[in-house]
Structure 1
Amino acid sequence: MITMGVELELHAKRPILDWGRSRTTLIHGSYEHGDALTDVLVGMDGDDQSNIGRVDPYGDTLFNEQQAEAALREVPGLLQQCSDQSQTAAVLDLMGLLQSCSQTPGSYLWFVGD
């Protein structure tokens, strides 16, 4: 049972992992696909050593621009694991933020888990 979802935030530089104080570096946030994204992440193989496989859906995970670029190569496999349209939309949203992060020098993608 999933009660909270993973939210995504793209930051111009490494954010302070404090919800209130991190607003100054925020470029874009994605908050509408959290539950579906969590379902996809939880459904991944527990032994998965990929970049996306290291995301903690219940804690916070940061990707820098190089990690985001590497994670982009994993999106096609993640899309194949989607079981419905909401999960597909969540992964496509993630893909867009990974692309933005990989193309923005010094940026970070923050996976805000709960």
Structure 2
Amino acid sequence: MGIDLQLHSARPQWPGRRSKRKPTLVRESHEHGAALAQVIEELPSNTSGKLWMVDPYNDTVFNEQEAEAALREIPDLLRRCADDARIDAVRDLAAFLTACATTPGSYLVFVGD
């Protein structure tokens, strides 16, 4: 199981839906999916944060405001990391959250297994 990340320049186009919009995918990351899923699954639920809502089995979408709010959780996530693989996964997540938060109209998709 893993969570891949996709940064979109606008509301994502989902496969199977007919649309005349241009593709929105800007970049994606598959490298740290398993470690990211482990970190996310260990988060306590029903907190004031955003990242606990990421579903490791389905897609979860954050807009730029949600990404900005989730960025505040990164320091705590880094403190929770037990190994280099998880640290790398959280740093990758931080880069994607930052890109989304600073790009008007963008979306970050957490692609669950």
TM-score by length of 1: 0.89
Aligned match of 1:12: 9
Q: How far apart are 1:81 and its partner, in Å?
A: 1.1
**RMSD over equivalenced CA pairs, Å:** 2.0
Could you tell me which runs of 5 or more consecutive residues in structure 1 were left unpaired when the two chains were aligned. none
Number of residue pairs aligned between Structure 1 and Structure 2: 111
Bigger radius of gyration: 2
Q: How far apart are 1:49 and its partner, in Å?
A: 3.9
What does residue range 76-91 of structure 1 map to in structure 2 within 5 Å?
76-91=75-90
**Worse overlay, 79-88 or 40-49:** 40-49
Q: Is 1:35 paired with 2:26?
A: no
How far apart, in 2, do the equivalents of 1:46 and 1:70 lie? 16
**Worse overlay, 80-89 or 44-53:** 44-53
CA contact (8 A) 2:62 2:109 kept: yes
How far apart, in 2, do the equivalents of 1:25 and 1:88 lie? 28
Could you tell me which runs of 5 or more consecutive residues in structure 2 were left unpaired when the two chains were aligned. none
Aligned match of 2:100: 101
* Identical residues among aligned pairs (%): 50
How far apart, in 2, do the equivalents of 1:83 and 1:38 lie? 14
